[in-house]
């Protein structure tokens, strides 16, 4: 039997007994105007809105017959596919790349060709988790997409430029879904509380409980509704008409962390994280990292702070610190929570245990201070650009010694302007790898002054 998860029978069961379906399913939007978030994809004239409107009018898709929906979990990828299915009388088939293979894909394509040829009926295939398909499995979709035997709507949480084959990507319209904001989720929770297909006003949700549910959700609508349903069930079973914070905590086994992402706690905890790393207290650093993660802090904010710490407090004492922090930031941007917690932990531990030096920070601060004071005289003539016509007449680049032409690769010549000649901004420590720079820098400065042999 051909896979088809959005069947009339399933919808009939839901209509007869709505309570038999999870709250997240019952609250699934039926039209685009019920979708929360993703305003950039749903504005008038947008590709997704045109696709739905054309489906509702019984017209075939315009432009690419393949749509790729890329975004974090719980942001509405399946929901948008479901809205398309409700708007069209086309055959709507859903497959998950977790359980399906080439055999199932070919069955759908064969069915689509039969329906198109015999009944003039189009087929929309929603393929979830397409990044889990191998190259060969993705290749099997190409003929159907190219010949418009199917309209493919594929969803992925992974970067499609890495996880989807180029031929399919080039034939697809890529739509990027953004994480849902607290305002988006708040509107969804309040709708679920009051609408008949949701909780129908059976319970109320105080502000502190709502705030905790928003933190738990982490931008994931499905997670927010699942937690709300569990907490509401617990409150009703206790005969309570209000979902108290204690009930939410008990139900989801997650304490309400005192942390305001827009207030003092946001900056205080972030400051404590960086100061713990600076002080090499790895346990304290992990504690504050955990508080930020648990409170739903933006992982990109944490990663940015770690990159700053790598240069500000570690510098050349461990030259691998900054690449580690940058790699962590890139990974966090690609994978998001919850897996990003592992990457942030990796980077935090590495930075906390790295040898520390603020020599690079002090060096640029001292140089900036002199520039602000006006100590920024003309560039020495021999360092100026000598490539343009007339430069030689001005004396530009005259007398410049090319360092690669001298033994040791360091030429004795002036680089600083006269106003700051002799200034030494960088004072390396002897901590970690910076000890090597401490041994080198004075010898280099002596050679530049001509006080030492060049070999």
Interval 48-73: pLDDT, tens: 777 777 766 655 544 446 889 988 88
Element (DSSP H or E) covering residue 96: strand 91-96
Check whether domain 359-449 has CATH 1.10.3710.10, yes or no: yes
Rounded to the nearest 5°, which phi and psi values hold at 69?
A: -105, 115
CA 365 to chain centre: 32
362-394: pLDDT as tens digits: 888 888 888 888 887 787 777 777 677 676 767
Q: Which of 172, 177, 180 is nearest to 144 (CA)?
A: 172
For 324-375, the pLDDT digits (tens) are 999 999 988 887 777 888 999 999 999 998 989 888 888 888 888 888 888 8
The 10 Å Cβ neighbour count of residue 91 is 21
pLDDT at residue 254 greater than cutoff 60: no
Determine the average pLDDT of the residues in 212-233: 84
The pLDDT-based confidence of 264 (bands split at 50, 70, 90) is very low
Average pLDDT over residues 142-149: 86
* pLDDT value at residue 9: 37
Residue 261, Ramachandran bin (φ over 0: left; ψ between -120 and 50: alpha; else beta):
alpha
What is d(CA 300, CA 358) in angstroms, rounded to the nearest whole number? Answer: 24
Cα torsion through 195, 198, 203, 209, rounded to 10: -100
What does the domain layout of the chain look like in residue ranges?
Answer: 8-176, 182-252, 273-353, 359-449
Domain 8-176 -> CATH class? alpha beta
Between 19 and 431, residue with greater pLDDT: 431
Domain 182-252 sits in CATH at 1.10.8.60
Burial 333-361 (b: 16+ CB within 10 A, else e): eebbbeebbebbbebbbbbbebbbbbbbe
Give the per-residue pLDDT at 193: 92
Q: How confident is the model at residue 123 (pLDDT cuts 50, 70, 90)?
A: confident
State the pLDDT at residue 171: 86
Express as a percent the part of the chain with pLDDT over 90.
12
Mean of the pLDDT values across residues 22-28? 86
- Is the pLDDT at 75 greater than 70, yes or no? yes
Look at residue 262 and tell me whether its pLDDT is greater than 60.
no
Q: What is the mean pLDDT of residues 215-220?
A: 78
Q: What is the CATH number of domain 273-353?
A: 1.20.272.10
- Binning pLDDT at 50, 70 and 90, where does residue 118 land? low
Res 189: pLDDT? 93
pLDDT value of position 308:
92
Share of the chain above pLDDT 70, in %: 86
């Amino acid at each position: 039997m051909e896979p088809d998860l959005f069947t009339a029978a399933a919808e009939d069961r839901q209509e007869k007994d709505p309570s038999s379906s999870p709250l997240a399913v019952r609250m699934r939007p039926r039209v685009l105007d019920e979708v929360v978030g993703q305003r950039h994809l749903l504005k008038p004239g947008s590709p997704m809105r045109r696709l739905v409107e054309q489906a509702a009018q019984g017209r075939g898709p315009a432009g690419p017959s393949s749509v790729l929906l890329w975004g974090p979990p719980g942001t509405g990828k399946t929901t948008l596919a479901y809205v398309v299915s409700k708007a069209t009388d086309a055959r709507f088939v859903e497959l998950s790349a977790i359980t399906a293979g080439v055999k199932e894909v070919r069955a759908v394509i064969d069915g689509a060709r039969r329906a198109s040829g015999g009944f003039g009926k189009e087929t929309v295939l929603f393929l979830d988790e397409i990044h889990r398909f191998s190259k060969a499995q993705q290749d099997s979709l190409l003929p159907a997409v190219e010949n418009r035997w199917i309209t493919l709507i594929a969803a992925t949480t992974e970067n499609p430029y890495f996880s989807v084959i180029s031929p399919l990507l080039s034939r697809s319209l890529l739509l990027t879904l953004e994480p849902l904001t607290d305002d988006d989720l708040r509107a969804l929770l309040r709708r679920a509380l009051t609408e008949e297909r949701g909780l129908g006003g059976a319970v109320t949700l105080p502000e502190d409980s709502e705030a905790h549910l928003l933190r738990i959700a982490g931008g994931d609508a499905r997670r927010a509704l699942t937690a709300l349903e569990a907490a509401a069930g617990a409150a009703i079973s206790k005969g309570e008409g209000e979902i108290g914070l204690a009930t939410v905590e008990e139900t989801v086994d997650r304490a309400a962390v005192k942390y305001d992402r827009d207030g003092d706690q946001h900056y205080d905890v972030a400051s404590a994280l960086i100061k713990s790393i600076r002080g090499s207290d790895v346990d304290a650093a992990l504690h504050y990292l955990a508080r930020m993660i648990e409170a739903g802090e933006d992982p990109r904010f944490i990663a940015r702070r770690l990159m700053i710490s790598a240069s500000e407090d570690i510098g050349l004492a461990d030259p691998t610190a900054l690449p580690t922090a940058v790699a962590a930031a890139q990974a966090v941007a690609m994978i998001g929570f919850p897996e990003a917690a592992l990457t942030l932990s990796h980077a935090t531990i590495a930075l906390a245990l790295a040898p520390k030096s603020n020599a690079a920070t002090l060096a640029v601060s001292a140089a900036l201070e002199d520039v602000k004071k006006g100590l920024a005289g003309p560039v020495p003539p021999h360092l100026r650009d000598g490539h343009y016509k007339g430069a030689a007449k001005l004396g530009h680049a005259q007398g410049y010694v090319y360092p690669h032409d001298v033994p040791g690769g360091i030429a004795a010549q002036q680089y600083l302007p006269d106003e700051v000649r002799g200034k030494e901004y960088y004072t390396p420590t002897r901590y970690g790898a910076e000890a090597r720079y401490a041994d080198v820098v004075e010898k280099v400065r002596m050679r530049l002054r001509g006080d030492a042999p060049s070999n």
